[in-house]
Each structure stands twice: as C-alpha cells, then as structure tokens.
Amino acid sequence: MDYRLMSFYNAPPLDCRDLMTLLGQSTLNDFAALPHDLRRQFRKEIQLLIRNDTSLLYAAPGDVADVWAVPRDDAEMHLPMKIGNFTDFMCALEHVQTTGRLAGYGQVPANFFSMPLAYNGRASSVIVSGVDVSRPNGILNVDQGGCQYAASKKLDYEVEMGMFVSQPVSHGNAVAASVARNHIFGFVLLNDWSARDVQFNEMMPLGPFNGKAFATSISPWVVTLDALEDTGALVPSAPGGDVTGGSNTNNKFLECSDDLSVRVTSYISRNDGKSRELLAQSDLKHLYWSPFQMLAHHSSSGCGLLTGDLLGTGTLSSTAEQAAELGQGFEGKRSGCLHELVLAGTRPLKLGDGSVLTWLEDGDTVILEGWAGSADKAIGFGELVNQITPVKELPQ
C-alpha cells in the first residue's frame, strides 16, 4: 500500500503534511525518528482504513485502488532502514554454555551475568530477505600448520532478532533500560551468517572478524514495538520466574520490568527447494538479557546511537526446560545454529530427504519465521529466506 499516493485522493488523516514527504522516501529512518505519539497515531489511522469497508483500500478494481495498491508478487522488497551501525549481542545462556563446552571451556564467563555481551559488526554487509549469500573465502588452517585463503567448509546460520533504533541517543549520553523502549522503533528477523572455520581460526585473541563480516540478513518488514505490545508480546519479568530479562541484575541502570516474547522458527530447504524441514524453535524471552537491557548497556559508554542503527539479539537457543514451553516436538530442536545442533560437526543430522546436514552446502536455503501473540491477536514477521551460492574466487 502506497500511503503517500493515497493522500492525493484523500486528505491525510494526520495533521502533518511533512509525514507524506517522509513516506515517499526509500527508507523509514526519518519516519522512525518522529515522536512516538505521532508514529502511534499513524498506525491507528492505517488500522481504521483496514477496518472501514468504505475506505480506498476496498475500491473496485480499475478505480483509484490500482494507483496505490501494489500486488504482493510484484513488490520488490529492500532494506527498510539506512543502517549506520550494526552491533550483535550474545545473550542466550544455552548458546554460551554449549559453545563453551565445544571449545573446551569449563564454565560460563562471569561477565556474562554482569552485562549483555556484544561486538561491533559491519553495516555494509546487511542484506534483505531474498538476496543470495555467497560462500565466503577466509584464512584457513591447512596441513603442516600452514594457513591459506580458501572457501569456508563450515558455513553456518544463527537465528536472531534485530531491533532498530528510533529516537537517537546523542553522543555522551546514556539511556536506562527502564526507558529504553522510547528508543526502539521495531523488530525484524535476523540471520547472522557465520563461517565457523574462518571465525575460530581468527578470533583469538581479538575476536571475530571475517568469519562474521560477510553477510547478515534481515526480514524486510519492521514490526513496531506498539504492534508487539498490542498482541501481548510485552511480558513482565520476575526474579526466578519464566522470564528473567530485566530482573536479573542488581544494577539499577539495567533494571527493567518488561521483556518481549516472540517465537522464531528455523527451517532448511535442500535439493528440490520445494520442501522444508524444521530445524529449531526458540523464544526471544528465553534470552538471559532483554532487548531493553541490550540497548541500555550499548548506550552506557556514551557512544551515541543513531536512528536506523541495528542491534542483533544474539543466537536464540533454549534450554530443555524452556523448550518444553514450546510444545511437543521441540525438545531436541532448540538450537539456534548448526554449531550447536550438530555439536561442531561431530553429530550430523539426517534430513527427511535422506541427505546429511553437517554444515550448509551450496544450494541450501535457510528460512526463518517469527510470530508474536496468540489467537486473534497474533502478528507475523513474514519470512527471512536466503540461499547459499558458490564461492567467488579471489583475484590474483
């Protein structure tokens, strides 16, 4: 729906002519930076158009509807925001415990329980659903202890969610978790693609670099925080309860009474590309730290946050107890990445078509879906779909 074009046939319901200009832009940055009350009012006006069967939405074919209505199959999706910065967190205790065991570490690092851990990624390689992911090159260990550039053989996905900053946080200032929601525009599905062999060869002692830098994909539709709240996705947190994010710290700056519940499911499609197989499901509320705490901690140094900055939640993996909440069939399908699911390649997974999944192969397609709420108040995030294509040779 082209709401800007609709305004030519019907006076804008909002007393803000500048809004029509903002909606004519190719990204939502300026709209996201508007005061929250105005954005919320705009959403309500859209809902009224949908509920009113005499509105332009339901004009007869051949009427003005042909001007502003774009068939879904004809719409080409693109990145919803101009992304200035991308930061990725690591906030799932199950993910940290499992990857730590696989790496030979005995205990979860103490700092995990003190703050949301994160690293600064690359905004330049954030892509939208439907864009292919080319298998990356990287420096790999070879026989006799040498290293050389080669195509990654251990390509992986990571199931995450991403949140976009709305109102900016100016340099030198910080935002407490209790009011962080005032700076969150909305959420998308996020896949943090990872080349494990490249990543683990390079990350000591400084951290991940090229093994994480080649692609991060997101779904094209931003589901606003208002929309999530309307579905009941905003859930209270309590110490020792099912949802602890927000109440898991004695640091007043990070305390927050709310968390978010969004179920995210991952699938793989192989060979014919027509069928898909369930890999896992998890819930955003299963993270140890909430999105509100992530944004607050990010701001605490005074670095400043810009409208359109993207923050990834980190891999969504659930404990066995948490997975039991999701219903039958998810007990063994609760890992948000292959590294956990196949135990670093030592426990390959046999798929329904008879093939074996250890790491992603060329031609594989990974699909993420997300839902919040329930029954008549459920809201979907659409799909995040990307296919793996062969490596591009490095120039000589």
pLDDT one-digit tens code per residue, 342-381 = 999 999 999 998 999 999 999 999 999 999 998 789 999 9
- Say if residue 161 is in the same domain as residue 59: no
Q: Is the pLDDT of residue 15 over 80?
A: no
Q: Which domain holds residue 21?
A: 3-74
State CA 214 to chain mean position distance.
Answer: 16
Per mean pLDDT, which range of 62-71, 152-161, 351-360 is the poorest? 62-71
Q: What is the mean pLDDT of residues 324-350?
A: 88
- Say if residue 46 is in the same domain as residue 154: no
Is 350 labelled a binding residue?
Answer: no
Query: Does residue 396 lie within any of the structural domains?
Result: no
- Say if residue 185 is in the same domain as residue 125: yes
State CA 371 to chain mean position distance.
Answer: 13
Per mean pLDDT, which range of 134-138, 139-143, 253-257 is the poorest? 139-143
Per mean pLDDT, which range of 60-74, 151-165, 268-282, 342-356 is the poorest? 60-74
Q: Among candidates 67, 112, 74, which has minimal Cα distance to 91? A: 112
Q: Is the pLDDT of residue 49 over 70?
A: yes
Q: Among candidates 177, 155, 222, 211, which has minimal Cα distance to 361? A: 155
- Say if residue 97 is in the same domain as residue 59: no
Any idea what the CATH number is for the domain that residue 93 is in?
Answer: 3.90.850.10
Burial class (CB in 10 A: 0-12, 13-18, 19+), 273: exposed
Q: Is the pLDDT of residue 328 over 80?
A: no
**Phi, psi angle pair for 358, to nearest 5°:** -115, -60
Q: What is the pLDDT of residue 8?
A: 56
Element (H, E) at 281: strand 277-283
pLDDT band at 21, cuts 50/70/90?
confident
CA dihedral of residues 342, 343, 347, 350 (deg, nearest 10): -10
Query: Does residue 60 lie within any of the structural domains?
Result: yes
Query: Does residue 394 lie within any of the structural domains?
Result: no
Q: Among candidates 258, 254, 256, 257, which has minimal Cα distance to 232? A: 258
Per mean pLDDT, which range of 77-91, 106-120, 204-218, 231-245 is the poorest? 231-245
Contact 335, 240 (CB under 8 A): no
Q: Is the pLDDT of residue 387 over 60?
A: yes
- Say if residue 211 is in the same domain as residue 298: yes
Query: Does residue 79 lie within any of the structural domains?
Result: no
Is 307 labelled a binding residue?
Answer: no
Contact 148, 139 (CB under 8 A): yes
Is 216 labelled a binding residue?
Answer: yes
- Say if residue 38 is in the same domain as residue 102: no
User: Of 24, 42, 74, which residue is a domain's last?
Assistant: 74
- Say if residue 289 is in the same domain as residue 375: yes
Q: What is the pLDDT of residue 66?
A: 65
Burial class (CB in 10 A: 0-12, 13-18, 19+), 313: buried
Query: Does residue 94 lie within any of the structural domains?
Result: yes
Is 199 labelled a binding residue?
Answer: yes
- Say if residue 224 is in the same domain as residue 341: yes
| Mean model confidence pLDDT for the chain | 90
Query: Does residue 231 lie within any of the structural domains?
Result: yes
Q: Is the pLDDT of residue 212 over 60?
A: yes
Q: How far apart are CA 259 and CA 395, in angstroms?
A: 48
Q: How far apart are CA 269 and CA 333, in angstroms?
A: 16
Handedness of CA 58, 64, 66, 68 (dihedral sign): negative
List the catalytic residues.
95
pTM of the model: 0.94
Q: Among candidates 237, 189, 111, which has minimal Cα distance to 384? A: 189
Q: Is the pLDDT of residue 31 over 80?
A: yes
- Say if residue 48 is in the same domain as residue 195: no
Percent of the chain at pLDDT exceeding 70: 90
Buried b (16+ CB within 10 A) or exposed e, 365-384: bbbbbbebbeeeeebebbbb
Contact 262, 233 (CB under 8 A): yes
Q: Is the pLDDT of residue 11 over 80?
A: no
Is 99 labelled a binding residue?
Answer: no
Q: What is the pLDDT of residue 52?
A: 84
Q: How far apart are CA 151 and CA 306, in angstroms?
A: 35
Query: Does residue 395 lie within any of the structural domains?
Result: no
- Say if residue 145 is in the same domain as residue 42: no
Q: What is the pLDDT of residue 331?
A: 67
- Say if residue 104 is in the same domain as residue 54: no
Beta partners for 353? none
Is 212 labelled a binding residue?
Answer: yes
Query: Does residue 81 lie within any of the structural domains?
Result: no
List, in sequence order, every beta strand (DSSP E) within 37-120. Answer: 86-90, 117-120
- Say if residue 150 is in the same domain as residue 26: no
Is 76 labelled a binding residue?
Answer: no
Number of structural domains in the chain: 2
User: Of 22, 40, 74, which residue is a domain's last?
Assistant: 74
User: Of 25, 51, 74, which residue is a domain's last?
Assistant: 74
* Tokens 């990307």 sit on residue: 386
